[in-house]
Chain A
Amino acid sequence: MSVTNLKLKDQSALRPAAPVIAFTRSVKRASGRPLLARLSAGAANVAPLIVTLSLILIAWQIVCSAPDSSLPSPTRVLEESWELIAHPFYVGQGVDQGLFWHIAASLQRVAIGYALAAVVGIALGALVGQSQLAMRGLDPIFQVLRTVPPLAWLPLSLAAFQDGTPSAIFVIFITAIWPIIINTAVGIRNIPQDYQNVAKVLRLNAFEYFGKIMLPAAAPYIFTGLRIGIGLSWLAIVAAEMLIGGVGIGFFIWDAWNSSLISDIIVALIYVGIVGFFLDRLIALVGRVVTRGTATA
């Protein structure tokens, strides 16, 4: 996790100062160039990806083409799971739903748990970052609790909530909250003395300081935490749903395994990966818009 953390921080430092302006600039540049040049530039970006994807698919096809292969080849996946791929919005009985609905159910759980984690995490992070006393009292506890694997919380939350869905939401919450707390606290501890002096000279009160100095100054760090948090949430929901059952992409995968539908599992994994990718990009995008000029002082 610490590696991811570092990487994200690097990226945030390299972020352009004012994306709004960068955005209009890039639009201008794009519209100013002839269509053909734009297409060829786009192709140059995408071509390597297409090549690697093709190589992987070909290798996979060759390795798994034996009739007694334990895993299906790409063509067999297409053949066996065509129903699943072609009808993502299929509505059936109970857990017999199209993949879109499974993903939607998982996303809903993640949304609730993650939103709670963001609110509580930023508040606790602000407290720990701001107060030396709170840090001494709480930080050791955070450091211990954050190492508990997400799924280890599940039995406890099942016992507490007596129901699958709130337990899964709690697992998301408890998984996502630690990086949010820790990054927020670091961000607030790193607010430059200059900004604090400005706040003092202006005599900002506690609320004004929180909204006008603390949050914007710590925003790049907070979004680093939020981005790690969303990734962990998506990791945890699949595992948690395997255990709690019901509609959801995690249980879908488990159900497919129990029914020996290996091709369905592969399709579901591709869905999980792509959704996770877009969640990460979404938070990064929100972060860029919200932090605007903050990243570069």
Chain B
Amino acid sequence: MKRFSGLNLLAQAFDGHRGWPEHWPDKAPKAAYDVIIIGAGGHGLGAAYYLATKYGISNVAVIEKGWLGGGNAGRNTTIIRSNYLYDESAHLYDHAVKLWDGLSQELNYNVMYSKRGVLMLAHNVHDVQSFKRHIHANRLNGVDNEWLTPDQCKAYCPPLDIAANARHPVLGGALQRRGGTARHDSVAWGYARGAVARGVDIIQNCAVTGIRRGPDGAVLGVETERGFIGATKIGVSAAGSTSLVMKMAGLDFPLESYPLQALVSEPVKPIFPCVVMSNTVHAYISQSDKGELVIGAGTDQYVSYSQRGALHIIEHTLAAICEIFPIFTRMRMLRTWGGIVDVTPDRSPILAKTPVPGLYVNCGWGTGGFKATPGAADLLAHTIAHDAPHAINAPFNLDRFRNGRLIDEAAAAAVAH
């Protein structure tokens, strides 16, 4: 890996930038690895990176049925925050936010983490009470979150309409200043480049078709479109396809996969200084560094693997955006797309060992997995390396659906999050 630095950039400039090596050369799979990660999104590539850097396990393959970062890593709205209600969730997501800090330096790759603040709008009395409860719970957990009056919201985000007779009146907002956005592709690329530099193989366009297990039930490796690849430890980080992979190992999972849509507008000059989320009317919006308004819509109501959603979901979101930000009523939308998100019954992830020896899983991030990328990757690597969960991800096990110790962020937020 040739490091990016001012000096290297200058040196390469004299040679027309032809001297940069490939970030992740195409590799034919070896017969066996110490660890196989299924899914080359940010979570999976990051897990391979941390296995190599923190635990010295670099004989690792990341296997991907499509292309690197082409699933939900490339389909999200890049929002980062950690203002979750329950202690377990606050610790989990804040672990990720702490890793976002300094990630560009660690990877020597600009992930463009921008702490522009995430403002969650309250439109009714229930929102006000719920958000204030979140703020107090967050402060007890050392997570920054503060209450803004409507005027303070307007000062923080000038395009906002706070008129008392608005269709969706703004009664205040909860602001997490450390929250913000990052460049989603860069996260996958940066982890991939860092992992490959330490000996990890990334094998794209190679769908896993089966998981081979020995007489004792432990994993022996994966069957793929390019033949059998051996490994005694397999980490699954396959988002919407996780339950399909788990069925290959004989496990039924408490997951359902839904389409989640997002869209971007034509690019305009800087107008929108932060991230605004309105759970009640279901509108999430920020502005990318390219100038596009990045808008998150809701999930479709039915299980699907189609990677596209219905137009009325987008219409609903844009109707809310136009009411809250009348300035945007004449913006034109350029692109819409959908990703398939795996949703658990309590809307909290599963990051754990499975009943199959040697099989580990990182799934169930639902509609909010991007923000957790570095944290989930780090904790999956820890769980695989130690064959035991870290204290932070120990509560996010599979047993909770049997013993009832749910981490019910679904009830806490009352909406998808």
A, B assembled together: no
A interface residues with partner B (beta carbon < 8 Å): none
B interface residues (Cβ-Cβ under 8 A, vs A): none
